[in-house]
Amino acid sequence: MKAAILTIGTELVRGQVVDTNASYLAERLAALGLDTTVMETVADHSSRIQSTLRRLGTEHDVLVCTGGLGPTSDDLTSLSVARLLGVPLERDPAQAGRIEAYFARTNRPASPCNLKQADLPQGATPLENPVGTAPGFVVWIRRARAFFLPGVPEEMTAMFSSAVEPVLRSLVCAPFSEIGLCVFGLPEGVVNDRLASIETAHRVTLGYRVSFPELEVKVLARGETEEEARQRARGAADQVRELLGPEVVYGEAPCSLAQAVGELLRQRALTVTLAESCTGGLVAELLTAAPGASDFFLGGLVAYANSAKQQLLEVPQLVLERFGAVSAEAARAMAEGARRVFGSYLALAVTGIAGPGGGSEQKPVGLVYLALAVEGGATVRELRLHGSRERIRRMAAFAALALLRRVLLRGVAGAVD
């Protein structure tokens, strides 16, 4: 069932108001299993509203529209719908009564312009507004059942839940099931290519949601029964795991890479510590975001200056002089130092050049070294990252967690270069 979202308001197209209604509706429609193919915004302009509704109504089964139902002269939605359908506006007595009662409760008379909100296109079915005065309504526009809701977000969301969602739920007859797989370590395009066969083989729809640098692959299956949809989604999700591999798929949504790492450490009763330079504590922040990290995380040091690396992490001066603070050798010494200083089983170090300045030909911005120290040695990785300072720092922190996870999956004993 195809859906479109239309938000109406000159404030929106001028950039004075952020269109939170559209994203709210998009999420809710997706959760209901509707296939939203278009989101549009149009100014409070009657002929534009009409032409947009005509086009969207031709191509969709459901339209959800917000805005322009209020009492002022710039609120043109009801009038535009009436014109489009070739019907007059008619005062709905029940809604007019509600508005009058609302003002009576606040000891004010309802003005003619307040009562204008009860004027609906002839034949429209009103939708009660549980929190405000402007009612919404439903009409048919071409192929589409079209819902009109107020623009004020609290009124819109209340009305969506009470009056729209139940109708949509009964329309979306096919039960569905969705599984989100959390992915890190492959670019979105590569993931997409590897999963190319899944949709037809399993009769599911794949969706991708990026929350940089993590990616969620959503598997959506529909079926005659909920059980059938669930089984099909499960089969497809298992195949996604197989195609991408356990080092890339780290869990099922909701889940973060740091949580997945924490779970592995906890299961194996291992402890980890951190020595961070260019990430400035971001790895520690990620690891401690979920409660209970004290089970496996002893602590971390942000050693930014060379002197801190020397004094707190016991990085030999010779290493810093000879190879520099951004080097495989420094990363290894930082990790080994943290392991010694804190007395942890594992220690992870990150050092790099986050930019925008500070790069050179040999050591460009984005050069990052990760090191993981274990008993008997360490493993070191060099990364060449791109983008803004923020992206480089985030990517470095996630890559460090991914290195830790990989080592935990493969066995700590093998993690000595």
Binding residues for Mg ion (CB under 5 A): 70, 75
Q: How far apart are CA 416 and CA 205, in angstroms?
A: 42
Nearer to ligand ATP, 44 or 329 (CB): 44
Burial of 108 (0-12, 13-18, 19+ CB in 10 A): exposed
The CA–CA distances, whole Å, from 340 to 348, 368, 412 equal 12, 23, 17
- Contacted by 66, from Mg ion, ligand ATP, none: CB < 5 to 8 Å by type: ligand ATP
Nearer to ligand ATP, 48 or 363 (CB): 48
Nearer to Mg ion, 75 or 214 (CB): 75
Footprint (CB under 6 A) of ligand ATP, residues 168-227: none
Q: How far apart are CA 74 and CA 54, in angstroms?
A: 21
Smallest distance, Mg ion to C-beta of residue 96, A:
18
Cα-atom radius of gyration of the chain, to the nearest Å?
Answer: 29
Residues in the chain: 417
Question: Site size for ligand ATP, by CB under 6 A?
Answer: 21
Nearer to ligand ATP, 9 or 262 (CB): 9
Nearer to ligand ATP, 17 or 26 (CB): 17
Element (H, E) at 29: helix 20-31
Q: How far apart are CA 378 and CA 334, in angstroms?
A: 10
Residue range at the interface with ligand ATP (CB under 6 A); choices 12-20, 185-193, 225-233, 341-349: 12-20
Footprint (CB under 6 A) of ligand ATP, residues 15-34: 17, 19-22
Residue at 294: amino acid letter:
S
With CB atoms as reference, the residue minimizing the distance to ligand ATP is 70
- Contacted by 12, from ligand ATP, Mg ion, none: CB < 5 to 8 Å by type: ligand ATP
With CB atoms as reference, the residue minimizing the distance to Mg ion is 70
Instruction: Work out the angle between the directed axes of helices 77-85 and 46-59 (0-180°, nearest 10).
Output: 60
Smallest distance, Mg ion to C-beta of residue 78, A:
11
- 78 scored as a contact of ligand ATP (CB under 6 A): no
Pick the closest to residue 315 from 290, 332, 302 (CA basis).
332
Q: What is the largest CA-CA distance in the chain?
A: 87
- 80 scored as a contact of ligand ATP (CB under 6 A): no
Stretch 116-155: interaction string toward ligand ATP, x if CB under 6 A: ------------------x---------------xxxx--
- Our separate counts of H helices and E strands in the chain read 17, 17
- Contacted by 57, from Mg ion, ligand ATP, none: CB < 5 to 8 Å by type: none
